[in-house]
Structure 1
C-alpha cells in the first residue's frame, strides 16, 4: 500500500468511527452539455448526478476576506475514493455552488469551497 491508500484507509476508518457524527453524505450535480429538445425547439441543460461523503465546516474569521472567501462560505473535505465523480467549479453540492476545488498533496481528499 502506498501513502495515498494508507491515508484513505485511515480517513475512512475515522469517518466511520470517531468522526461519524461530523460526516455527512451529500449529493451533487455537474452541468453537462445541453441537449436539443425538438418538441420545444430549445436547448435543455443536462446534469450528471454524483455523491459522496465528507465533513462540512466553516472558514476561520482570519481567512474571510469578503472577496475570495465570504463569511457564509462553507468548506467540504471529502475522501476522493468515496466521491463518485471529481468535483469541479460550477458544480452544485448539497445545494451550494462549488467555487474552488483542491486536492491535498497526497491526492486522498478533495477540499471544496462552497457558496450558497
Structure 2
C-alpha cells in the first residue's frame, strides 16, 4: 500500500468517525458540448455528466480573502479523490472523476480546483 492509499484510507476513516458530523454529500454536474457530426452537417446535442461523492465544506480564513480571486462568500470543499465517481442514472460507477472549473457542485460553481501533493484529495473553491 502506497502513501496515497494510506492517506486516503486514514481520511476516509476520519470522514466516517471524527468528521462524520461535518461530512456532506457532494453532487456535481458538468455540461459537455456536443461534437461536430460531419454526416449530419452539425453538432450533436450537449450532454450533462453527473458525479457524486462526499466532502467537507468550509470557509476561507480572513487572511486568504483578497476580494478578487477569493471572496468572503466563497466556500472551500475538501473531497477525497478516490470517492468522487461518475453517476449513471441512479447508479454510482467506479469511474473516478476530476472536478473542473465551471462545473456545478451542490448549487455552487467551481472557481478553482487543486490537489494535494499526494494526489489524495481535491481542494475546490466554490462560489454562488
Q: Secondary structure at the match of 2:53?
A: strand
Residues paired across the two proteins, number = 112
Which portions of structure 1, spanning 4 or more consecutive aligned residues, are displaced by more than 2 angstroms?
42-45
Say if 1:35 and 1:46, in contact at 8 Å, map to a contact too: no
TM-score of the pair, normalised by structure 1: 0.90
Show CA shifts across 1:43-75 (max 9, x none): 753210000100000000111110000000000
Q: Which residue of 1 aligns with 2:98?
A: 86
d(CA) in 2 for partners of 1:52, 1:91? 14
Inter-CA distance 43–70: structure 2 relative to 1 (3 Å threshold): farther
Q: Which runs of 5+ in 2 are unaligned?
A: 37-42, 86-96
1:108 aligns with 2:117: no
Aligned-residue CA RMSD (Å): 1.7
Q: Provide closer, same or farther for how the CA distance between residues 43 and 72 of structure 1 changes in structure 2, counting only shifts above 3 A.
A: farther
The runs of 5 or more residues in structure 1 that have no matched partner are 37-41
Q: Give the secondary structure class of the aligned counterpart of 1:87.
A: coil
Cα pair 1:34 1:44 within 8 Å, conserved: yes
Matches for 1:7-46 after TM superposition, within 5 Å: 7-34=7-34, 44-46=45-47
Q: Is the 8 A contact 1:57 1:74 kept in 2?
A: yes
SS of residue matched to 1:86 = coil
Structure 1 equivalent of residue 67 of structure 2: 66
**2:15 aligned counterpart, secondary structure:** helix
The residue that corresponds to 1:39 in the other structure is none
